[in-house]
Amino acid sequence: MNNQCLQGKKIIVAVTGGIAAYKACDLVSRLVKAGSQVQVIMTTSAMKFVAPLTFQTLSRNPVITDMFEEPKEWKVAHVSVAEAADLFVVAPATANLIGKLRAGIADDFLTTTLLATKAPTLLAPAMNVNMYDHRAVQENLQVLRARGILFVEPGEGLLACGVVGKGRLAEVDQIMAKIQEIMAPKEILKGKKVLVTAGGTREAIDPVRYLTNRSSGKMGYAMAETAVAMGAQVILVSAPTNLQNPPGVRKIAVESAQEMREAVLDLYDNVDIVIKAAAVADYRPAQEQKQKIKKKDETLSLELVKNPDILAELGRHKKHQCLVGFAAETHNLEKYAKNKVFSKNLDFLVANDVTAPGAGFSVDTNIVTLFDKHGQREDFPIMTKKEVAQEIWKRIAQSWHKQ
């Protein structure tokens, strides 16, 4: 493992009260050997499993155990620790800690510091399988994911309680790999020109009415934001949304499907990657009325005509570009997704079932399946849309190295 990205980094390792606390000793040792400055925080319960002296010796720093202990220098301790951190790791993260963090409870040094930090926060849950599967715990995990908290999934196997199932702390190798992934420079798109479409188009009926869909634009904006962070030059062609333009992204505002088509085709030849995350209306009114339609009869008939299929058109004219489509489905997801990959000449298609909890419109999470042009599929667990975007970009980058 290349640990250059960890050298000199201030990493807070928080240990909560679970039998897996002993594994945190190995984690702290490895981080120190990798050149990180490690500060350990222990809860009262954690000290029942491992003595603070062990972590003090391994980290070469005093261990924080008490909210009200006298500070070594005059600073508000939980604030100074929170501000200094490059990364916050909680291993193990118990159901109790997860519940407190979800509720915003700050009743000890650890929970207070977690609320005060702006550093990336990584939780490694560990608990009995029945606790992990409990609806309250799963809801807490989902809420925290939506807030941007990162996770290392627990492993499956024989637990300390004697039950076999999911809930054991992830192996230290896995936790270290996730830490390295978070801390490593992510300019895998450096030098690439990326075009992203987002939002739901509006098709005018008259001067005050239009046809549209439920798209919030959040997934497309997440794709644009993460692409910039990974070194790309990004142009975002966006239908109307309530979202702020991501920093570093050039935005072109459009409204209708036809306006989006014109903007995308005008840019297409000069970009390397196209992410078609916009929800483009399939149909539009045959004629836009110049004046507001007045209410008269019990029914109103509108003649609709088909909009151009922008994604299919891009596929027909594709040269060097990597073309990625998105598909929101309600049934037969795999059948429709695979058909779109081949019929529209795509490199990848990101599909989701919008009826699934946590994967619908306007929410901050998503559950997607990635299909590629070779017929392969990869299912992702529920993640924030930003995490989904990061995973999609990684798969795109990996595909270049295979060619």
Whether 5 sits among the annotated catalytic residues: the reply is no
154 among annotated binding-site residues: no
Q: Name the amino acid, one letter, at 32.
A: V
282 among annotated binding-site residues: yes
Q: Please give the full DSSP string across 104-129, using - where no structure is assigned.
A: T---SHHHHHHHH--S-EEEEE---H
302 among annotated binding-site residues: no
Helix ranges, 230-287 (H): 257-268
308 among annotated binding-site residues: yes
372 among annotated binding-site residues: no
The Cα–Cα gap between 369 and 376 comes to 10
Q: Do residues 176 and 27 lie in contact, with contact meaning Cβ atoms separated by under 8 Å? A: yes
269 among annotated binding-site residues: no
295-310 b/e (C-beta count within 10 Å ≥ 16 → b) = eeeeeeeeeeeebebb
User: Which secondary-structure segment (H or E) carries 25?
Assistant: helix 23-33
32, exposed or middle or buried, with CB in 10 Å at 0-12, 13-18, 19+? middle
Map tokens 């439920």 to a residue: 214
Residue 87: HSE in the Cβ half-sphere, 13 Å Cα cutoff: 27
188 among annotated binding-site residues: no
How large is the greatest C-alpha to C-alpha distance in the chain, in angstroms? 82
CB atoms within 10 A of CB 316: 10
266 among annotated binding-site residues: no
310 among annotated binding-site residues: yes
Residue 286: HSE in the Cβ half-sphere, 13 Å Cα cutoff: 5
Q: Please give the full DSSP string across 303-354, using - where no structure is assigned.
A: -EEEPP-HHHHHHHT-SS-EEEEEEEESS-HHHHHHHHHHHTT-SEEEEEET
> CA 389, 392, 280: angle at the middle one, nearest 5?
70
Q: Which of 133, 167, 205, 146 is nearest to 19 (CA)?
A: 167
What is the sign, positive or negative, of the torsion defined by CA atoms of 75, 81, 82, 86? positive
- Exactly one of 5, 25, 161, 322 is catalytic; name it: 161
The Cα–Cα gap between 200 and 212 comes to 6
Helix pair angle (23-33, 172-183), 10° resolution:
40
Q: Which of 207, 214, 268 is nearest to 239 (CA)?
A: 214
Catalytic residues: 161
Query: Which residues sit in the known binding site for CTP?
Result: 282, 292, 308-311, 326, 340, 344
Query: Which residues sit in the known binding site?
Result: 282, 292, 308-311, 326, 340, 344
